[in-house]
């Protein structure tokens, strides 16, 4: 009954580097690493008392031996919490809550041909997923705006990697769906994280081709633990917890079977 | 000797004066991973209606300077599932249970109060102050006559003491507090959120799908302290103070202003364990300042 053993944790920044315009990579030393799974996220708090809510940031890599987690995040604008994260240095302390959310069901991919799809700032969680899935064929498809294809080299070490860029400067011109069509790729299972229009296209493709598909969704959050009901998505069926057609992205997700959500 | 933190709110004994603000804590299950619910005076649940409500479209929350806005719109699973699942969960803990009740019509509120009359809950908090739903909610909370009438109606069905939760979006807090007292309220709680608006200057659109939302958090705390003070001087029934309490100091301010107990809301999102820290902090303040009983602090700043 007194299972109140979780709390906010002071993580220590191990390293920070800029990967692309407004995209940063940070390694954090934190107990949370011991429990983290691919597709889960951290609630990251700024040290600015005027910014009270945590920023939900997906986990990019997990190193249990070094008790460390990597996050790759985008600075969303001037005077934002993410901008403050980007100014932090090695040795600085940053409060986190996590790991939160359900994560990708990696075990479903075992022995299958998989698409691991990331778009924009939805690319980072695909890296740890690619490391941990034991697919027969790991096909990583990542979409970017332009030639700043952050994490690409790391993906190339983890599986067959295909790149799409909106401006055509690298890989296939267009989006991740254009890669699948152009290269005639096939899969038995799909995992995806990225902007909603991309996820809609992936969901449609998966359902038309009757492929098992998991989508990682995003929404503005407050509590991050399923209490405030700030970050719901619409569910196809009535959800057992909410008793309405809503699921909590932070707690029931962020990863959902494509057929159980309406996006 | 440790300080005596016990309070009696409308005949119900709480072990300490700290509860949570409705809507920020679910029904306690999610926070139980972070908080020992046995250490709270009471748990106040998210608002529950007679039938399930889907709430508003997203985005439902936004950060503001020193606070946040929400327009969840009282999503709730309905009273039947609540009684079946949430009350038994909370009964596992040694804390009081306050059920926040919402509705679109007087009949809705009364139906929930009646359904709860046979349930093992300790108090009802009637939400006549939610700014995020079109019908009901605040419609009853901005007119003293309507507030008195809904209080009277609910009191006919309620077996437990009734707390009326007041809105700050009114001209006169004393008038509203007196109205619900006249209607038979056993206690009042305030403040609910202040109606606000936030615009995304890049998208040139409202941040919240509901256009407006309720502002909460430390930014509104001084407004809440003033209103708690006014309410405490207007009515004889106990006042439960809330609005931007972020730490023990803020909670103590509320007690000194006249609140008999305090509710912690938005601060839970910043630190899920904050309610325990606030209860401890009040105890330390009492010892340092020579208060033997927490009740000795209530309303002493006049």
Q: What is the pLDDT of residues A63-81, one digit of tens each?
A: 999 999 999 999 999 999 9
> Measured between beta carbons, which residues in chain B are less than 8 angstroms from residue A223?
24, 30, 268-269, 272
Task: Write out residues 177-236 of A within 8 Å (CB-CB) of B.
Answer: 219-233
Please, which residues have CB within 8 angstroms of residue A158's CB and are 6 or more apart in sequence? A127, A130, A131, A138, A140
A6, A221, A222: best mutation site toward chain B, by most B Cβ within 10 Å? A222
Q: Does domain A9-100 have CATH number 2.40.30.10?
A: yes
Q: How far is CA A35 from CA A7, A193, A218, in A?
A: 14, 21, 21
Confidence band, pLDDT 50/70/90 cuts, at residue A1: very low
Top CATH class of A217-254 equals: mainly beta
Please, which residues have CB within 8 angstroms of residue B297's CB and are 6 or more apart in sequence? B252, B255, B256, B286, B291
B191 close to B166: Cβ distance less than 8 angstroms: yes
pLDDT of residue A2: 45
A2 touches chain B (CB under 8 A): yes
C-alpha to C-alpha distance for B5 and B3, rounded to whole angstroms: 6
Phi-psi region of B184 (alpha: psi -120 to 50; beta: other; left: phi over 0): left
Domain total of chain B: 1
| A220: Cα within 13 Å, side-chain hemisphere | 18
Domain residues for the domain of B98 are 7-56+78-197+216-297
ipTM over 0.85: yes
Interchain contact, B218 vs A243, CB within 8 Å: no
**Which CATH number does the domain housing residue B12 bear?**
3.20.20.70
Interchain contact, B77 vs A49, CB within 8 Å: no
For residue B153, is it within any domain? yes
Query: Candidates 3.30.70.920, 3.40.640.10, 2.40.30.10, 3.40.50.80; correct CATH number of A106-216?
Result: 3.40.50.80
A8 touches chain B (CB under 8 A): yes
A221 to chain B, closest Cα gap in Å: 7
Alpha carbon of residue B272 to chain centroid: 17
Confidence band, pLDDT 50/70/90 cuts, at residue A90: very high
Is B102 a catalytic site residue?
no
Closest by CA position to A56, among listed B124, B7, B63: B63
C-alpha to C-alpha distance for B17 and B257, rounded to whole angstroms: 14
Confidence band, pLDDT 50/70/90 cuts, at residue B107: very high
A19 to chain B, closest Cα gap in Å: 25
A10 touches chain B (CB under 8 A): no
Is the pLDDT reported for residue B239 higher than 70? yes
Interchain contact, A223 vs B269, CB within 8 Å: yes
Positive or negative CA dihedral for B14, B18, B24, B26?
Answer: negative
For residue B141, is it within any domain? yes
pTM of the model: 0.96
Segment A137-194, tens digit of pLDDT: 999 999 999 999 999 999 999 999 999 999 999 999 999 999 999 999 999 999 999 9
Q: How far is CA A207 from CA A181, A234, A237, B225, in A?
A: 16, 17, 17, 55
> Measured between beta carbons, which residues in chain A are less than 8 angstroms from residue B66?
49-50, 52
For residue B206, is it within any domain? no
> Measured between beta carbons, which residues in chain B are less than 8 angstroms from residue A228?
23-24, 26, 61, 70, 72, 269
Is the pLDDT reported for residue B1 higher than 60? no
Interchain contact, A51 vs B63, CB within 8 Å: yes
Identify the residue whose tokens are 């300077």: B65
Equal CATH topology for A9-100 and A106-216 = no
Interchain contact, B52 vs A229, CB within 8 Å: no
Q: Where are the domains of chain A?
A: 9-100, 106-216, 217-254
Identify the residue whose tokens are 């196809």: A236
For residue B204, is it within any domain? no
Interchain contact, B217 vs A52, CB within 8 Å: yes
For residue B286, is it within any domain? yes
């Amino acid at each position: 009954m007194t299972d109140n053993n979780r709390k906010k944790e002071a993580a220590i920044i191990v390293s920070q580097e800029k990967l692309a315009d407004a995209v940063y990579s940070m390694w954090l030393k934190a107990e949370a690493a011991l429990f983290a799974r691919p597709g889960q996220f951290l609630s990251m708090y700024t040290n600015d008392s005027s910014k009270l809510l945590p920023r939900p940031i997906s986990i990019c890599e997990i190193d249990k031996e070094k008790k460390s987690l990597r996050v790759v995040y985008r600075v969303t604008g001037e005077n934002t919490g993410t901008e403050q994260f980007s100014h932090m240095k090695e040795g600085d302390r940053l409060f986190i809550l996590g790991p939160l959310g359900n994560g990708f069901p990696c075990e479903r991919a075992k022995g299958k041909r998989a698409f691991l799809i990331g778009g924009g700032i939805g690319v980072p969680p695909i890296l740890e997923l690619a490391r941990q899935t034991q697919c027969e064929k790991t096909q990583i498809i990542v979409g970017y705006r332009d030639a700043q294809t952050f994490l690409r080299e790391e993906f190339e070490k983890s599986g067959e990697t295909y790149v799409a860029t909106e401006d055509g400067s690298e890989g296939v011109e267009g989006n991740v769906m254009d890669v699948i069509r152009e290269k005639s790729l096939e899969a038995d299972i799909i995992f995806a994280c990225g902007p909603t229009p991309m996820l809609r296209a992936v969901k449609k493709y998966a359902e038309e081709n009757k492929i098992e598909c998991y989508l990682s969704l995003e929404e503005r959050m407050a509590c991050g633990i399923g209490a405030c009901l700030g970050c719901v998505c619409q569910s196809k069926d009535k959800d057992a917890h909410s008793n309405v057609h809503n699921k909590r992205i932070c707690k029931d997700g962020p990863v959902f079977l494509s057929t159980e959500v309406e996006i | 000797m440790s300080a005596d933190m016990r309070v009696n709110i409308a005949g119900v004994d709480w072990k300490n004066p700290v509860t949570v603000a409705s809507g920020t804590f679910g029904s306690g299950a999610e926070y139980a991973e972070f908080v020992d619910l046995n250490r709270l005076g009471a748990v106040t649940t998210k608002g529950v209606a007679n039938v399930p409500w889907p709430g508003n479209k997203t985005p439902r929350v936004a950060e503001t300077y020193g606070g946040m806005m929400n327009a969840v719109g009282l999503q709730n699973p309905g009273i039947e599932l609540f009684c079946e699942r949430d009350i038994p969960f909370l009964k596992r803990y040694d804390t009081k249970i306050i059920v926040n009740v919402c509705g679109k019509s007087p009949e809705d509120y009364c139906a929930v109060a009646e359904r709860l009359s046979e349930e093992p809950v300790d108090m009802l908090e009637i939400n006549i102050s939610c700014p995020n739903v079109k019908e009901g909610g605040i419609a009853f909370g901005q007119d003293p006559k309507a507030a008195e009438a809904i209080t009277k109606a609910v009191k006919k069905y309620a077996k437990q003491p009734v707390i009326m939760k007041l809105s700050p979006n009114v001209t006169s807090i004393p008038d509203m507090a007196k109205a619900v007292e006249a209607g038979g309220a056993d206690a009042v709680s305030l403040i609910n959120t202040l109606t606000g608006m936030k615009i995304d200057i890049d998208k040139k659109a409202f941040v919240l799908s509901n256009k407006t939302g309720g502002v909460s958090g430390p930014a509104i705390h001084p407004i809440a302290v003033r209103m708690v003070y006014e309410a405490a001087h207007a009515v004889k029934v106990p006042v439960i103070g809330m609005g931007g309490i972020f730490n023990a100091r803020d909670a103590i301010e509320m007690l000194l202003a006249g609140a008999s107990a305090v509710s912690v809301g938005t601060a839970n999102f910043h630190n899920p364990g904050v309610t325990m820290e606030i209860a401890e902090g009040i105890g330390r303040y009492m010892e340092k300042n020579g208060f033997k009983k927490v009740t000795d602090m209530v309303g002493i700043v006049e």
